[in-house]
Amino acid sequence: MEKALNAQIRVEAESSQVYLSMACWAEIKGLEGIAQFMYKHSDEERMHMLKLVKFVNERGGHAIISELSAPDTDFGTFQKMFEQLYDHEIFVSKAINELVHVTLTEKDYATHNFLQWYVAEQIEEEALARTILDKINLIGNDKGGLYLFDRDVQMITVDSAAADPGA
């Protein structure tokens, strides 16, 4: 179980790096709102990682801070970047589901209970990513739409997307 939790610590840390790299790409392209959104998202992933770190250490294990894979540095277009974000969240959801599976096979119900927060969080993160992709599809290649999207995207949070997935 500890090994599986440590693997998830790495997944969350790498997620934080991926979104930090997306923030940098958006920032140098002048997409200030998208950059702010990605910086915030990167911080959230670090929080997900820290929550796991503390849980492992408090339960008598040893949270391992490992080296990380380098994220991409070029994301092509902002549309492609958000598609990549969505795919990444699907990947994280699968990792969390695998982890929950391990808790059941090992009858580790304390960890099972702890992981429910992550299960709920992933539902919200996927909803958030889908909400954003829907908005992007509406914009198409309209420059004015991109201007408004860049202005508004920093206001979209996991909570607002979960409350109104169709927004």
Residues near ligand FEO (CB under 6 A): 12, 15, 45, 48, 89, 92, 125
Give the shortest CB-39-to-ligand FEO separation in angstroms. Answer: 14
Task: Give exposure, 16-42, as e/b (b: 16+ Cβ within 10 Å).
Answer: bbbbbbbbbbbeeeebebbbbbbbebb
Query: For residues 124 and 150, which CB has a smaller minimum distance to ligand FEO in the complex?
Result: 124
Query: For residues 13 and 102, which CB has a smaller minimum distance to ligand FEO in the complex?
Result: 13
DSSP 72: P
Give the shortest CB-115-to-ligand FEO separation in angstroms. Answer: 12
Give the shortest CB-48-to-ligand FEO separation in angstroms. Answer: 4
Whether 21 contacts 72, CB under 8 Å: yes
Alpha-carbon separation of residue 18 from 23, 36, 82, 102, 137 (angstroms): 9, 14, 12, 26, 23
Give the shortest CB-47-to-ligand FEO separation in angstroms. Answer: 8
- Please state, in angstroms and rounded to a whole number, the distance separating the CA atoms of residues 15 and 151: 24
Query: For residues 69 and 141, which CB has a smaller minimum distance to ligand FEO in the complex?
Result: 69
Query: For residues 92 and 99, which CB has a smaller minimum distance to ligand FEO in the complex?
Result: 92
